[in-house]
Amino acid sequence: MGVMQDLGLNAAMLAEKLAAARVLVVGDVMLDRYWFGDVSRISPEAPVPVAKIARSEERAGGAANVARNIAGLGGKASILSVVGDDEAANALEALLVRDGIATSLKRDANISTTVKLRVVARQQQLIRLDFEDAPSHEILADKLQEFADIVGEHDVVILSDYGKGGLTHVEEMIRLARAAGKPVLIDPKGDDYSKYAGATLLTPNRSEFRQVAGSWRDEDTLTRKAQDLREELNLDALLVTRSEEGMTLFRAEGALHQPTLAREVYDVSGAGDTVIGTLGLALAAGLTLPVAMSLANAAAGVVVGKLGTAVCTQQELLAL
């Protein structure tokens, strides 16, 4: 049996529910640039490979990739973020608009839009070059005001923290969203999770959770650490994505584990965006958290089989 059958979901009805669901994504957006080429020699100037670039690609990354995943699954995605007033911002906005995402990108002329440039040869990443600046206080205050104005128009809020400064007011955003009765899902960053207190759900990966809670020797220790953190932060749930080990959802009712559904792992970059995007959209569509987790796990299994910041389409999900 497939995932859809196991969950007792009708594909047509699910597609209809997803199409009506509205998700607001806020956080650090970036432009992912890929330069693809071939390497056949070592530079005479230094012991480094020479990549002869044949083609390039641009993709929306970070929080923008979360929105892409929601749109790819047939949902209504809105993105609120800060960018520079530059060519990269224009390219990023064009990509989002092309995917049918409602965009509100606050332009800050004093910063550069975050760009991650990857040079890839023979399906191997040779180097990644990052360009980034922290946004100004004034532009962040402007973004917070717009968040307060539009949060009530959405079913679920996703805060995607990549540590670039776009979620400086995360505590206030959580408060505003919860006051409006909206679930708040957060992809966290760093080793201080106290700022995320009161959120509905956090989705750290295995290494991120270890950074906050410390290491564990067995499942019982992991469960204790996860439940302690969940209670300390007053969260409804905590979802730890565990790479090849699958993912585990911790709630007051206990722990629920699902093994990975990936058939072939090609590239795990962006898989966390797919997980939280699918989770948020499924909850916005009225599905339960365990069912939303199953769909997120299935979507992540599709995405890790693709190169770079990719998405799982609705057709791919419904076919599972």
Query: What residues act catalytically?
Result: 273
- CA 119 → CA 95, 237, 239, 303, distances in Å? 20, 38, 33, 20
Token pair 């206990």 is found at: 254
- Look at residues 121, 144, 117 and name the one whose alpha carbon lies nearest to residue 131: 117
Beta bridge partner(s), residue 142: none
Other beta carbons within 10 Å of 315: 12
Residue 80 identity (one-letter amino acid): L
- CA 101 → CA 71, 75, 106, 151, 169, distances in Å? 7, 9, 15, 16, 23
Percent of residues in the chain assigned helix, strand, coil, to nearest 5? 40, 30, 30
Do the Cβ atoms of 266 and 307 come closer than 8 Å?
yes
Measured CA to CA, the distance from residue 193 to residue 166 in angstroms comes to 16
- CA 298 → CA 246, 249, 255, 261, 268, distances in Å? 10, 15, 19, 6, 14
What's the token pair of residue 70?
Answer: 């929601």
Do the Cβ atoms of 68 and 60 come closer than 8 Å?
yes
Other beta carbons within 10 Å of 6: 11
